Amino acid sequence: MAKAESTSRDLRLDFFRGLALWFIFLNHMHYNVLSWVTNRNYGFSDATEIFVFISGYSAAIAYGGAMQRQGFLVAAARILRRVWQIYVAHLMLFLAFTAEIAFLAQRFDNQMFVEEMNVLTFLNEPHVTLIQALLLKFRPVNMDVLPLYIVLLAVFPLALWGIQRRPLTVVAASAVLYFAARHFGWNLPNYPGDAGWFFNPFTWQFLFVLGAAATRLPATLEWLQRQRRWLTPLAVAYLVFALWIAFSWHVPWFEGSVPQWLARHLYPVDKTSLDPLRAVHFLALAYLTACWVRPDARFLAMPIFRPLVICGQHSLAIFCVGIFLSFTGEFALLEIDGSLAMQVLVGVTGIGLMTALAAILGWYKAAEKANQRRPQMASAA
């Protein structure tokens, strides 16, 4: 999400983050048939893991330089300014969501759904709900990623300071926090209900820190690369195992193929606290990707994948627009037509709009840069 400025930009980051953004957009629409292509159907982890890990990695690149050149305070101030921007973006999305819900609520008046209608009580008590929303405790459906990102980034100055000195120590501390939070059930409070945050920051921080620390551990990464003779088959075997389990959830054909004893050991595969099955699944996926897709892989620069790369380069804006478009798309599916063709149309249009916006942002940024250079040239003349 942070802007990584570098001449030798690793296009893999942009590519896979763009992919994660598209997947998140599709997954945020209930029952859009296109969401069938996203990775969550083929294993334990989904686009969120990709997004959080890459966000950690690029935040370390984006602010690491400033912290080394200008010191802790300046870098921290820049990070906190970013936190504020994300908070504002989140509140904008909340406003859009609430407007849509208030509109729909008047039609959701059928005694058959008397239990379901209770979810609308928040509209009757804005004096409570709005404050809970400002405190990030009340987060309607699918508005959980940005609050997680806000919290992770808010404490990132300290993490980054540590990562620049003792990356492995910070990773170890992060792992301890991860397991402790899972063991003791630590989470931030939620409203209403006792579910806690859908993405528990105390556990999800692990992937973010891992991503950030990876920027400072080239030797460790190289060592991992050299172990591919035995790590690759292991990772592939794990992914195949996860594929089978995931199919038993989603594909009627495979339902019941998991024996009861195994089911009792595996389940639940909890998303809220980043179940180790999920974390390992993502790491296996990331390992194989890093081994097989080199930074100079030719397909990364191919024009057909350009839309993904530019979406990944403007991830905060594109993420927010993606969430907004998923609201709008769902609304269209609900109000106009929910047919298969319409679902495809909504999905493709949304991705087209995300790409168009990313292209405009890229153009604008380039124009701004050119503008900054011109006056200097004029004064030199």
Partner 1 sequence: MRPRFAFLLLATGLMLMAGPSTMAVGATCGAPESALDTAGVLPVVAAARRAGGPLRVTVVGSASTGGAGTSGPGKSYTAKLAAALSRRLGVEVAVEAHGRRGWTARAMAEELPDIVAADQPHLVIWQTGTVDAVREVAPEAFGQALVQGAEALKQGGVDLLLMDMQYSAIGVRLIDYGPYLDHMSWAAAAFGNPIFHRHAVMRAWAEESRFGDPGRRKADQESYADQVHACMAELLAQVITDIQAESAPR
Task: Summarize as ranges the residues that interact with partner 1 (CB under 8 A).
Answer: 27, 30-33, 35-36, 40-41, 101, 104, 107-116, 118-120, 140-142, 190, 192-196, 198, 248-252, 255-256, 258, 260, 263-264, 267-272, 330, 334, 338, 340, 343
Nearest approach, Cβ of 9 to partner 1 (angstroms)? Answer: 33
Nearest approach, Cβ of 212 to partner 1 (angstroms)? Answer: 28
CA–CA gap between residue 370 and residue 167 (Å, rounded): 37
Tokens found for residue 242: 């996860």
162: CB partners within 8 A, 6+ apart: 169, 170, 173
Nearest CB to partner 1, comparing residues 71 and 256: 256
Nearest CB to partner 1, comparing residues 249 and 292: 249
Nearest CB to partner 1, comparing residues 94 and 156: 94
Nearest approach, Cβ of 322 to partner 1 (angstroms)? Answer: 16
Nearest CB to partner 1, comparing residues 167 and 196: 196
- Whether residue 34 contacts residue 344, with contact meaning beta carbons closer than 8 Å, is answered with yes
CA–CA gap between residue 43 and residue 298 (Å, rounded): 27
CA–CA gap between residue 168 and residue 171 (Å, rounded): 5
Please choose, from the candidates 50, 290, 59, 49, the residue with its C-alpha nearest in 3D space to the C-alpha of residue 164: 59
Nearest CB to partner 1, comparing residues 35 and 164: 35
Torsion angle of alpha carbons 274, 276, 278, 284, nearest 10°? 130
Nearest approach, Cβ of 133 to partner 1 (angstroms)? Answer: 14
- Whether residue 69 contacts residue 158, with contact meaning beta carbons closer than 8 Å, is answered with no
Nearest CB to partner 1, comparing residues 167 and 322: 322
Amino acid making up residue 232? T
Nearest approach, Cβ of 191 to partner 1 (angstroms)? Answer: 8
CA 370 from centre of chain = 32
Q: What are phi and psi of 239, to 5 degrees?
A: -65, -40
Nearest CB to partner 1, comparing residues 272 and 349: 272
Nearest approach, Cβ of 198 to partner 1 (angstroms)? Answer: 8
Tokens found for residue 157: 């100055």
Nearest approach, Cβ of 121 to partner 1 (angstroms)? Answer: 9
Nearest approach, Cβ of 284 to partner 1 (angstroms)? Answer: 20
Residue 94 CB neighbours (<10 A): 20
Nearest CB to partner 1, comparing residues 18 and 329: 329
CA–CA gap between residue 322 and residue 17 (Å, rounded): 13
- Whether residue 201 contacts residue 186, with contact meaning beta carbons closer than 8 Å, is answered with no
Only one residue has tokens 């994300």, namely 86
Residue 251 CB neighbours (<10 A): 11
